[in-house]
A and B are shown apart, each in its own frame.
Chain A
Amino acid sequence: NAGVTQTPKFQVLKTGQSMTLQCAQDMNHNSMYWYRQDPGMGLRLIYYSASEGTTDKGEVPNGYNVSRLNKREFSLRLESAAPSQTSVYFCASILGGVGTDTQYFGPGTRLTVL
């Protein structure tokens, strides 16, 4: 049981390049999330998927797109990377809503945009 996995662990991009961050969970969770964490800023929600087939914007969605490929997988795409997107990205999942369940986090992807 791997929990929440993310690939890649590290990535360096040049401004304007595109890439997709992958996230998968094997806990049969319904809801999945993408956060970014910047120094001194805490975790900020980019997008989330409350259930398979649905996605919604979070606090900082600009410059990102997401795909809930199936119940297990939730990807985050940067179409044209900018230096402001340099951050650590965390994927998380939860069985139902955040009200009563534990949210499990992946190990993170450290992205640098030059």
Chain B
Amino acid sequence: QKEVEQNSGPLSVPEGAIASLNCTYSDRGSQSFFWYRQYSGKSPELIMSIYSNGDKEDGRFTAQLNKASQYVSLLIRDSQPSDSATYLCAVSGSGAGSYQLTFGKGTKLSVIP
């Protein structure tokens, strides 16, 4: 059974601080990694994707991938109250499972004004 693990939180950070969200996964063959944001009562929306080791930056968001350690992280700089949401880590399967995403249970982030 493929597993994706995240700290459930809640993670509380003050406005303007850096929020750091972490995710580990079990399938060494996974090639694609995603971070989704989900506001309460809404559907998930993609905020970052990463496919190779290293960092990928998009505005205030940076995704980091280390395949050797089977670890993905998301950094949110200059956190805003509007960033308060649950963040879901998702990992693609390998081989025949490449059409499937396995999601973590999510980390709830609260940004305190």
| Residues of A participating in the B interface, judged by any CB pair closer than 8 Å | 31, 35, 40-45, 48, 50, 56, 58-59, 90, 97-100, 102-103, 105-108
A102 to B93, CA, bound (A): 15
List B residues 46-80 near A (Cβ within 8 Å). 46, 49, 51
Q: Is the CB of A98 within 8 A of B43?
A: no
Counting chain B residues whose Cβ lies within 8 A of the other chain, the interface size class is: 20 to 34
A106 and B43 in contact, given A97-B99, A100-B32 (Cβ under 8 angstroms): yes
Q: Distance in Å from the Cβ of A71 to the closest Cβ of chain B?
A: 16
* Cβ-neighbour of A45 out of B4, B45, B100, B104 (below 8 A): B100
* Cβ-neighbour of A41 out of B42, B46, B105 (below 8 A): B105
Does B98 interact with chain A (Cβ within 8 Å)?
Answer: yes
Q: Distance in Å from the Cβ of A97 to the closest Cβ of chain B?
A: 5
* Cβ-neighbour of A102 out of B49, B88, B92 (below 8 A): B49
A42 and B101 in contact, given A99-B92, A106-B43 (Cβ under 8 angstroms): no
Q: Is the CB of A105 within 8 A of B44?
A: yes
A99 to B106, CA, bound (A): 21
A107 and B43 in contact, given A58-B100, A98-B98, A99-B98 (Cβ under 8 angstroms): yes
Which of A31, A35, A48, A98 lies at the interface centre, i.e. has the most chain B CB atoms within 10 A of its CB?
A98
Does B103 interact with chain A (Cβ within 8 Å)?
Answer: yes
- The prevalent SS among residues of A at the interface is loop
Q: Is the CB of A99 within 8 A of B31?
A: yes
A57 to B92, CA, bound (A): 16
Q: Is the CB of B45 within 8 A of A40?
A: no
Q: Is the CB of A103 within 8 A of B46?
A: yes
A50 to B96, CA, bound (A): 11
Q: Distance in Å from the Cβ of B101 to the closest Cβ of chain A?
A: 5
A40 to B42, CA, bound (A): 15
Q: Is the CB of B8 within 8 A of A40?
A: yes
Which of B44, B46, B90 lies at the interface centre, i.e. has the most chain A CB atoms within 10 A of its CB?
B44
* Cβ-neighbour of B99 out of A40, A50, A105 (below 8 A): A50
A42 and B105 in contact, given A99-B31, A106-B43, A107-B43 (Cβ under 8 angstroms): yes
Q: Is the CB of B88 within 8 A of A43?
A: yes
